[in-house]
Amino acid sequence: MSEKRKVKAKVLSQKMIAPDIYDMWLSTELAGEAGAGQFIGVYTKDASRLLPRPISICQADKEKGAIRIVYRTAGAGTEEFSGWQPGDTADILGILGNGFPVDRAIGKRVVLMGGGIGIPPMVQLAAELGEAGTESVIIAGYRDSILFLKEDLEKFGKVLAATEDGSAGTKGNVLNVMEDKHVEADIIMACGPMPMLRAIKSYAAKKQITAYLSLEERMACGVGACLGCVCRTVHKDHHSHVNNARICTDGPVFDAGEVDI
């Protein structure tokens, strides 16, 4: 992995694409290092907030030197980000984390699953799989009929939607879509809230499907120093000498069989 560093980025564009969900492109030298499932830390301009906010990479345009992030406003930091305009500058830390193992999915039946704010990383992942000659089925889980990023995902594969209220696609969750549409998979790659990931882990084990899960977790430092974002794992961590993994550095993507969630 390339060395993490703090750099200055410039806002290229920003728009709201769903209630409390914003879509921002940043011009940055880090774009060439970004991969599916990785993330950046975005700093606020308020000096009292020392730690960056971790936000997953939705897309990386290496030719234009730009990274796209799609995030939900959840506090003062992300609320500040939502007010940034084209031309504004921001400090970002990256590239962080280990992403999805795209090379292990080439030539296989791959199903991507994104739930809520876990949908954005699926865009870059579907794009990288497509570049490798593997088309994926993408299942996106939403609260309601505002299907943000659906058109972006459709550029790279077949998209099936699940909505909690049944207003679009299959009523229920991403696994309900698997059964409703009789989707078969050799590999599942997923990102979303913990209850969704637990259900996918159980489903994959039952069906003997390889699954890779990107764990969403509150983070502090983002570089593995504070041990604030650990999960239980089958392997002993050389840093803490217990069966924990640091989501920010060992993950956020894990083989489902290696984590206890």
The pLDDT profile of the chain, 261 residues, written as one tens digit per residue, is 457 899 999 999 999 999 999 999 999 999 999 999 999 999 999 877 888 899 999 999 999 999 999 999 999 999 999 999 999 999 999 999 999 999 999 999 999 999 999 999 999 999 999 999 999 999 999 999 999 999 999 999 999 999 999 999 999 999 999 999 999 999 999 999 999 999 999 999 999 999 999 986 554 444 544 444 455 565 555 665 555 555 555 658 999 888 877
Single out the residue in 81, 96, 111 at which a domain terminates. 96
Short-list 37, 39, 117, CA closest to 26: 39
CA dihedral of residues 128, 251, 39, 92 (deg, nearest 10): -140
Claim to verify: residue 81 and residue 174 sit in the same structural domain: no
State the total domains in the chain.
2
Single out the residue in 80, 96, 112 at which a domain terminates. 96
Asked if residue 228 is part of any domain, the answer here is no
Claim to verify: residue 40 and residue 69 sit in the same structural domain: yes
Asked if residue 245 is part of any domain, the answer here is no
Claim to verify: residue 70 and residue 133 sit in the same structural domain: no
57: Cα separation from own chain's centroid? 7
Q: What is the CATH number of the domain that holds 187?
A: 3.40.50.80
pLDDT for res 226: 44
Asked if residue 9 is part of any domain, the answer here is yes
Fill in the amino acid letter for 9.
Answer: A
pLDDT for res 237: 56
Claim to verify: residue 41 and residue 78 sit in the same structural domain: yes
Claim to verify: residue 135 and residue 187 sit in the same structural domain: yes
Q: For the chain, percent helix, then strand, then coil, each to nearest 5?
A: 20, 35, 40
Single out the residue in 96, 114, 139 at which a domain terminates. 96
Return the DSSP state at 104. G
| CA–CA distances in Å: residue 52 to residues 34, 94, 219, 223 | 18, 11, 9, 11
Claim to verify: residue 106 and residue 90 sit in the same structural domain: no
- Locate 128 and state its tokens: 């990288």
Claim to verify: residue 25 and residue 84 sit in the same structural domain: yes
Claim to verify: residue 107 and residue 154 sit in the same structural domain: yes
Claim to verify: residue 185 and residue 106 sit in the same structural domain: yes
Claim to verify: residue 185 and residue 88 sit in the same structural domain: no
Asked if residue 243 is part of any domain, the answer here is no
Helix ranges (H only) for the chain are: 76-81, 120-131, 150-154, 174-180, 194-207
Asked if residue 247 is part of any domain, the answer here is no
Claim to verify: residue 87 and residue 149 sit in the same structural domain: no
d(CA 209, CA 190): 13
Fill in the amino acid letter for 68.
Answer: R
Domain, as residue range, for 70: 5-96
Asked if residue 73 is part of any domain, the answer here is yes
Claim to verify: residue 81 and residue 112 sit in the same structural domain: no
Q: What is the CATH number of the domain that holds 88?
A: 2.40.30.10
pLDDT for res 50: 81
Asked if residue 238 is part of any domain, the answer here is no
Strand partners, 231: 245
Asked if residue 66 is part of any domain, the answer here is yes
Burial of 73 (0-12, 13-18, 19+ CB in 10 A): middle
